[in-house]
């Protein structure tokens, strides 16, 4: 996990930091005025260059606290928002194809690069997406990101309209991701591979609801996290995600 404890001003001025975090270059983005914050520990949301792994229409900002900032990227328009949480050591670039795909379907989508506190990174990203105009937000995550969205779904207000977790573990950063430990009662979809060598399917199944088999899908093979979408069953999973999200947003 990358450490990003430099001040916000340094992150904005020294743009190579963005490239180091994202693992990709950047292209120029329009200037955006800072949003004032009454809390001195919270940084203003500031525009940075758009990473090269995303189309030019994408927007990139730094959000969160000055001590632990989060780089957030957004694409699309409208009131239906989706946050895509990456795997450990990955960034928004990992979700680039799906960000574009769901933006093309009419969603306002976002992803981010992990800060020190994964929960704070997720909350900052949801805040940016809502600030842009998303009224309802669904959460999608892979591996670490799957555990974070499952664990924190019951902490967010308003609650997410739906949660999709690809290969989640039962605990992440001290947070219990199991359904038994969560008060979240909204739509939930957990997907895992039968012989996943990183996180056992039996662990992921605990994130699904024992009393609702429809919340759990087990696939053949060993694909982990976002790799599930690239495996032979990828088109099937994407179809399930599309239907799940459409229903979660009320069709």
pLDDT of the residue at 43: 58
In angstroms, the CA 164 to CA 146 distance is 7
| Strand-pair category, 188-193 with 162-166 | parallel
Percent with pLDDT over 90 in the chain: 79
User: Quick one: average pLDDT of 61-69?
Assistant: 92
pTM for the whole structure = 0.85
**What's the sign of the alpha-carbon dihedral 3, 6, 7, 13?**
negative
- Of residues 56 and 106, more confidence is placed in 106
The better pLDDT of the pair 64, 248 is held by 248
Instruction: Choose the weakest-confidence range: 21-30, 60-69, 81-90, 226-235.
Output: 21-30
Q: Taking 60 as the threshold, does the pLDDT of residue 239 lie above it?
A: yes
Which residues fall within 8 angstroms of residue 157, CB to CB, at 6 or more apart?
none
Lowest-confidence pick of 11-20, 94-103, 111-120? 11-20
């Amino acid at each position: 996990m990358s450490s990003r404890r430099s001040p916000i001003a340094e992150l904005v001025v020294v743009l190579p930091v963005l490239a180091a975090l994202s693992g990709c270059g950047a292209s120029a983005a329009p200037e955006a005025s800072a949003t004032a914050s009454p809390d001195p520990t919270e940084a203003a949301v500031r525009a940075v260059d758009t990473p090269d792994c995303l189309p030019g229409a994408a927007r990139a900002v730094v959000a969160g606290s000055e001590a632990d900032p989060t780089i957030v990227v957004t694409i699309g328009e409208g009131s239906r928002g989706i946050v895509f949480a990456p795997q450990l050591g990955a960034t928004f670039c990992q979700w680039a194809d799906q960000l574009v795909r769901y933006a093309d379907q009419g969603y306002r989508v976002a992803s981010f690069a992990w800060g020190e506190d994964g929960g704070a990174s997720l909350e900052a990203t949801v805040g940016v997406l809502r600030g842009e105009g998303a009224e309802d937000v669904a959460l999608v995550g892979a591996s670490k990101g799957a555990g974070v969205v499952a664990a924190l779904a019951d902490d967010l207000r308003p609650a997410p309209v739906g949660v999709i977790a690809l290969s989640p573990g039962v605990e992440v950063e001290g947070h219990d991701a199991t359904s038994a430990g969560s008060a979240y009662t909204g739509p939930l979809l957990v997907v895992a591979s039968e012989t996943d060598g990183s996180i056992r399917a039996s662990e992921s199944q605990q994130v699904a609801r024992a009393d609702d088999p429809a919340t759990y899908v087990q696939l053949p093979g060993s694909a982990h996290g976002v790799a599930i979408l690239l495996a032979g069953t990828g088109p099937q999973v994407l179809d399930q995600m599309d239907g799940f999200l459409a229903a979660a947003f009320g069709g």
